[in-house]
Amino acid sequence: SPAMSRAPGPPDGGWGWVVVFGAFISIGFAYAFPKGIAIFFKEIQDFFGTSYSEIAWVSSIMLATTYGAGPISSILVNRYGSRPVVIFGGLLCGIGMVSAAFCTSILQLYICAGFITGFGLALNLQPSVIIIGKYFLKRRPIANGLAMAGSPVMLCTLAPLNQFLFDNFGWRGSFLILGAILLNCCVAGALFRPIGASTASVKTQVTEEGKGALKEEVTKDAVEMSSPMDVPIETKMQEEGGKDCCEKINQYLDFSLFKHRGFLIYLIGNVLMFLGFFAPIVFLAPYAKHIGIDEYSAAFLLSILAIVDMIARPTTGIIANSKWVRPRIQYFFSFSIAFNGACHLLCPLASGYMGLVIYSIFFGLAFGMVCAMLFETLMDLVGAARFTSAVGLVTIAECCTILLGPPIGGTLIDTFGDYKYMFIKCGAVMVLAGTFLFIMNYYNYRVLAKEEKERKAKEEDPKSVRTANEGRNNWNKETIQDGPELEPLREEQEGLKKEVNGT
């Protein structure tokens, strides 16, 4: 019988594009929603009689929870797969906003709109990014770029929508309706068909998603070729062999990532970068007003930024997918961070409205480039299997610097009375982060190339795990590696796959 003994590679298309659309919606809400509700703050501030900063905490709590709950999101995805987590996240967001509509105190607002909705958005963001890694490999940068484009598109949609809702329904009615709109994340989640296309690593970590994937329903991309009985026998023995406590924890959240060189490089570089990432956006409009530009033109700068961002993200995805860039995608990422920093450093030199327009265009471009590759580079470094845990660990580390960035910028502005120090600080931090990542990744690539040579020199072991260490020559053999003797099997299976699709 033509039973196959391992799952095929990611489909790189087909239903994957539907998944990208779902991720587009999900990621869009997760990033755009905390910024979008700022329109309601003035009214809520008057209603509860508090100061503006007390209201702004709602956004901060929402953002902090979205990033801080990352590890929990990772654990749940490791255990249950992306789909149930996103559906549950959508429900949670809806419940959070609906209950926020009936709040009678600012504290209740912090809990309902801030914490519960933020947690729901966290359960949306991580699984969406994770499932792209499961559905795509060859075209993954494009898929990532397209999905991340959801953020500026949603922001541009939410801003006028929120204004419309507010004018017609007041803030309470708007929160109620926004709760319903957030339920659309459940629709996005429903589109995340489970797919068993990840590694079943054999050594100590049996990744839960590997096990889970085999138990999950088969997808239309002929993954059903591997029936449950064809679980690599080594895996089964590993399970029966009993695991110690560390391995059990590692099942849920892969802490061994902290020994992974690429992961550590990414973590340090990104945590540093986020210190200067968001502050310029927060202060762009106030800076424009400060140098004498009227309110509407200042708001238009942000629109320019969003539109350029929207176009930059998929374009960056396409560029990053090209055969010249993909093996060196880490360099491209470091370059975009440094480019971003350079924009900020040059901003104080911009004079007048035209100068700021040019700054906004370049800033939008750089911002889009960095965001499009944010998760792609992490996937590239750690591989799709460990990405689930990696993304959780990275987001909780970034959470601190993301929250610190704008207040530090604000303090600089208040202390010196001049915006240029904030821009210099952001620019310097990002150029530093970009340079750090560039140098460290150069070193990493060389070490990986050396390891690859050593590995090739030894005899091929079909049971060895190769989580994706991207060497220059290896980028197209990332996830499931069974060694060359199973190549003929793979071809046969491809042939059968074509046949099935043909009927």
Q: How far is Cα 13 from Cα 29, in angstroms, rounded to an integer?
A: 24
> Is 503 a binder of another protein (CB under 8 A)?
yes
> Is 242 a binder of another protein (CB under 8 A)?
no
Structure tokens at 173: 């009615």
Of 300, 311, 302, which Cα lies nearest the Cα of 282? 302
> Is 47 a binder of another protein (CB under 8 A)?
yes
Q: How far is Cα 337 from Cα 500, in angstroms, rounded to an integer?
A: 45
* Segment interacting with another protein, rule: CB under 8 A, options 144-152, 180-188, 265-273, 442-450: 180-188
Choice between 46 and 451, CB closer to another protein: 46
DSSP assigned state of 61: H
Q: How far is Cα 211 from Cα 407, in angstroms, rounded to an integer?
A: 44
Choice between 32 and 222, CB closer to another protein: 222
Binding mask 49-78 for another protein (x = CB under 8 A): x-----------------------------
The only residue of 13, 52, 105, 180 in contact with another protein, by rule CB under 8 A: 180
* Segment interacting with another protein, rule: CB under 8 A, options 71-79, 172-180, 233-241, 251-259: 172-180
Amino acid at 296: Y
CA 329 from chain center: how many Å? 16
Choice between 184 and 235, CB closer to another protein: 184
Q: How far is Cα 212 from Cα 199, in angstroms, rounded to an integer?
A: 11
The only residue of 50, 72, 106, 172 in contact with another protein, by rule CB under 8 A: 172
Q: How far is Cα 272 from Cα 303, in angstroms, rounded to an integer?
A: 27
Choice between 166 and 332, CB closer to another protein: 166
φ, ψ at 62 (rounded to 5°): -60, -45
Of 233, 222, 224, 196, which Cα lies nearest the Cα of 211? 196
> Is 96 a binder of another protein (CB under 8 A)?
no
The only residue of 38, 111, 187, 299 in contact with another protein, by rule CB under 8 A: 187
> Is 418 a binder of another protein (CB under 8 A)?
no
Write the burial class of residue 421 (CB in 10 Å: 0-12 exposed, 13-18 middle, 19+ buried).
middle
> Is 183 a binder of another protein (CB under 8 A)?
yes
* Segment interacting with another protein, rule: CB under 8 A, options 160-168, 242-250, 396-404, 430-438: 160-168
Choice between 166 and 367, CB closer to another protein: 166
Q: What number of other Cβ atoms are within 10 A of residue 225's Cβ?
A: 20
φ, ψ at 26 (rounded to 5°): -65, -50
> Is 173 a binder of another protein (CB under 8 A)?
yes
- Where does this chain bind another protein (CB under 8 A)? 2, 43, 46-47, 49, 166-170, 172-174, 176-177, 179-181, 183-184, 186-187, 190-191, 193, 217-218, 220, 224, 499-500, 503
